[in-house]
Amino acid sequence: MRSLLLPLPLLLTSCVLLTCTLPTYEARRTVDLRLPAAELARFVCTSHNGTISVTGDPAIVEVEVRAELSVRGWSQGEADDNLNLMSVGHERQGGTLRVFGHYPQGALDNLSPSFAFTVRLPRQVALELESHNGDLVVRGTAGDQRCTTHNGGIDAQADGRRLGFLTHNGRIGVDVTTAGPVDGTFESHNGEVDVAFGPAASATLTAGTHNGGISAGERLRDVRLDRSTLRARIGDGEGRVAITTHNGDVRVR
């Protein structure tokens, strides 16, 4: 009996094609929600895969949520069935509103289920946003912010007193317009961190990078800068801010 031996490159290519091919059929739908905003103090939004974009509006009296759902399948019928397993949930506890994507655990593995959220809400509401794979974008809000993405960038305007931004893989760019003391952390495990402070902000600042450069803008005072660390004062230095990246540049303005 004769054995057939495949050349190693061909064998590896065959294995990749067999194990790494993704289903190509896709199903999509949009879910729109209008939720009461009376006495709302905090908004929480989570997505395992998808961008979260939030805009604050001083004139709005409801929370407007648009969720773009998508998922794949090995046929169009299977993709449509998979989409029927996905839903957008929400729950209100006191002054906190939580909005989230949901599907049965393990049911859509390797089928790229995605929930991309676009939200408009009252300007003063505090935010807690988390995506396991997607960007976070914030505009026009005046409450505290805590934003976390495991794989994606963060692009935010921040006007709160307590701020927290973390990405495991991506760039952080934040314009801080807070008037008064700022307490916050800005951390990327792999990516640039660029933070600009407005003229009325106040904080004592420390910054560092394990692999990259640091630059300090003209508004910073009492600057102590070397190749990988920075200490400085913004305004009268009342708040506390820490900026860190493990791999990337740090820019503070």
- For residues 194-223, give the mean pLDDT: 92
Who's near 81: CB < 8 A, 6+ residues apart? 73
Q: What is the pLDDT of residue 22?
A: 80
Who's near 180: CB < 8 A, 6+ residues apart? 161, 200, 201, 202, 238, 239
Residue 252 has pLDDT above 80, yes or no: yes
* Radius of gyration of the chain measured on its C-alpha atoms: 22
- For residues 189-201, give the mean pLDDT: 94
Q: What is the pLDDT of residue 17?
A: 45
Question: pLDDT band at 227, cuts 50/70/90?
Answer: confident
Which residue shows structure tokens 């994507």? 101
Residue 11 has pLDDT above 60, yes or no: no
- For residues 169-184, give the mean pLDDT: 95
Q: What is the pLDDT of residue 172?
A: 96
Which residue shows structure tokens 């600009």? 196
> Which residues are 193's β-sheet partners?
172, 250
Token pair of 191, please? 């990516």
The percentage of the chain sitting over the pLDDT mark of 90, rounded to a whole number, equals 83
Number of H helices and E strands in the chain, helices first, is: 2, 22
Q: What is the pLDDT of residue 88?
A: 97
Query: How many Å apart are CA 158 and CA 171, to the nearest integer?
Result: 16
- For residues 28-38, give the mean pLDDT: 96
Q: What is the pLDDT of residue 99?
A: 98
Q: What is the pLDDT of residue 20?
A: 54
Residue 13 has pLDDT above 50, yes or no: no
Nearest 5°: the CA angle 249, 145, 195 is 25
Give the length of the chain.
253
Q: What is the pLDDT of residue 105?
A: 85
For residue 197, the one-letter residue type is: F
Question: pLDDT band at 21, cuts 50/70/90?
Answer: confident
Residue 27 has pLDDT above 50, yes or no: yes
Q: What is the pLDDT of residue 14?
A: 44
Domain segments of the chain as ranges: 22-129, 144-253
Residue 205 has pLDDT above 90, yes or no: yes
Residue 136 has pLDDT above 50, yes or no: yes
Cβ(44)–Cβ(97) below 8 Å: yes
Q: What is the pLDDT of residues 145-157, one digit of tens each?
A: 999 999 999 999 9
Query: How many Å apart are CA 61 and CA 155, to the nearest integer?
Result: 25
| Average pLDDT along the chain | 90
Q: What is the pLDDT of residues 51-95, one digit of tens each?
A: 999 999 999 999 999 999 999 999 999 999 999 999 999 999 999
Residue 10 has pLDDT above 70, yes or no: no
> Which residues are 120's β-sheet partners?
55, 64
- For residues 195-206, give the mean pLDDT: 94
Query: How many Å apart are CA 127 and CA 132, to the nearest integer?
Result: 17
